[in-house]
Amino acid sequence: MSLLHTQTESPMTPTEAGETKLNPNNTTNMNKEEIAKYVYNYAEEHYNDGGWDTIVECWTIQAIMDSLEDDETKEEALESFRSVAGVHAEREADAVNCW
């Protein structure tokens, strides 16, 4: 981040438990770790929605970071992981329909 840059809205917001979560309204200057945490938090919030549970159970923040492109935004990253979650949702549906 440039020393000349002044960010008016933090990409992180405090929660009641003292943790920090990404502020979904801020899309500027997010680094890979912040984007990865955003994707992971989204996956946690949508755990029961079509394959996102696999992201939570099988991916670490580091693994998500490693899969991100350098210039990827949080929206692009989320779209990429929607594809991953969708594949897992299809596999799960196929497994359920086998019986």
Q: Do the Cβ atoms of 51 and 89 come closer than 8 Å?
A: yes
Asked, for residue 54, whether it belongs to a domain, the answer is yes
Residue 21 lies in a domain: no
pLDDT, tens digit, 9 for 90 and up, residues 36-90? 999 999 999 999 988 899 999 999 999 999 999 877 899 999 999 998 898 877 7
pLDDT score, position 8: 35
Total domains in the fold of the chain? 1
Residue type, 28: T
Looking at the domain assignment, is residue 1 inside a domain? no
Residue 74 resides in a domain: yes
Q: Please check whether residue 20 lies inside any domain of the structure.
A: no
Comparing C-alpha atoms, which of 77, 89, 87 is closest to residue 40? 77
Residue 77's alpha-carbon distances to 54, 71, 99, in angstroms, are 16, 10, 34
* pLDDT at residue number 95: 73
Q: Is the dihedral of CA 56, 58, 64, 69 positive or negative?
A: negative
Question: Residue 20: what pLDDT?
Answer: 42
Instruction: Tell me the average pLDDT across 4-10.
Output: 34
User: What's the pLDDT at 2?
Assistant: 31
Q: What is the rounded distance in angstroms from the CA atom of residue 73 to the CA atom of residue 21?
A: 17
**pLDDT (0 to 100) of residue 65:** 95
Domain interval for residue 74: 30-98
Tell me, yes or no, whether 46 lies in a domain. Answer: yes
pLDDT band of residue 5 (cuts 50, 70, 90) is very low
CB atoms within 10 A of CB 12: 14
